[in-house]
Chains A and B, each alone.
Chain A
């Protein structure tokens, strides 16, 4: 079982000069610990240097190597080939524009995080100005992210209905829920106003697929449901009050 085996990779390819996307096939030998990312990097090194694939940490904490493998959203660096069948179909994440081959443009994710108050790291925890002392310099300023989310985008791709570009998305909604839980100086009313929208918390289909694929166990599906509960608790007294006022008049 642990002996190396030959695996067929079918890799989605789409570049700026391509008229239509295609699937290229690569055969390679994989050991028991070979990951999808290992295989893709081996393909790029030995068979096709033009293959576009994004990665950074190689151990599942940076979230840059998110992709669809055999139709499921995974981090390629922690997904072993031996857990998959043969052939292995590798595609970019859905719900985001393809920049090239397996790389998608994540800008819209970051854009949606900004208005919900993404920086959740306390001011006292931020790296100070680089004054020559030990520690990180000012380059970290503004790069903070909320809690455990690694912004990999797997949740965006896994949604059963991923066609609406106006949807705030699980990443931003889960971040909004954290802001409301622990505002740390942020204005909860503004965040509530942002998510209380047909394309906000109410757009979710309650399938919890986003939570199922989340490699950081952020559980964005539950966060969205808690957001809805909060919005309802916020709305209900106003609705009851209006009903009473209209009843008296």
Chain B
């Protein structure tokens, strides 16, 4: 065994394995999406705090920023945020249920249901935000 291990000279992949779900099944895609949306939401939380700190520079600075964020490109980011939040929350609920030994045989159906709900939430948000 020691000798066999010495022969293993496979190069380390340039990016983490989990970042490449090509050719994988639905569950792995959901896992990757959950991680990416989680990282995105953490990044947004800090960005949000930085943006809120503009209030310290007075109402003019804040109003200017709000005006900027009403542009379509930023509203699209808002929509992306809602979709990411909905997916992370609903898929997290699925993972918590299945990971507690509940509805284990329904994990695929739960994922499909979560996907449908995310689509609906995003659609409603699109109408409300972009209209």
Residues of chain B having any CB pair with chain A under 8 Å = 1, 3-11, 16-18, 21-25, 27-28, 30-32, 95, 98-102, 104-105, 107
18 residue pairs A–B, Cβ–Cβ below 8 Å: A21-B9, A92-B10, A98-B4, A100-B7, A160-B17, A161-B18, A206-B107, A207-B31, A208-B107, A209-B25, A212-B24, A221-B27, A222-B105, A225-B99, A225-B101, A225-B107, A228-B99, A229-B100
Q: How large is the interface on A (under 10, 10 to 19, 20 to 34, 35 or more residues)?
A: 35 or more
CA distance A227 to B99 in the complex (A): 9
Tell me if A94 counts as interface (CB < 8 A to partner B): yes
Residues of chain A with a CB closer than 8 A to B3's CB: 16
* B27/A209 in contact, CB under 8 A: yes
Q: How many A-B residue pairs have CB under 8 A?
A: 98
Tell me if A5 counts as interface (CB < 8 A to partner B): no
Tell me if A226 counts as interface (CB < 8 A to partner B): yes
Instruction: Give the dominant DSSP class at B's interface.
Output: helix
* B17/A162 in contact, CB under 8 A: yes
* A160/B25 in contact, CB under 8 A: no
* A228/B101 in contact, CB under 8 A: yes
In the complex, what residue of chain B is closest to A161 when comparing beta carbons? Answer: B18
Residues of chain A having any CB pair with chain B under 8 Å = 14-16, 18-21, 70-72, 92, 94, 97-100, 105, 107, 158, 160-163, 205-209, 212, 221-222, 225-230, 232-233
CA distance A206 to B3 in the complex (A): 34
* B27/A14 in contact, CB under 8 A: no
Q: How far is the CB of A65 from chain B (nearest CB, A)?
A: 18
Given A71-B22, A97-B8, A230-B101, A107 and B1 contact (CB-CB distance below 8 Å): yes
Residues of chain B with a CB closer than 8 A to A99's CB: 4, 7
Given A21-B9, A207-B28, A72 and B23 contact (CB-CB distance below 8 Å): yes
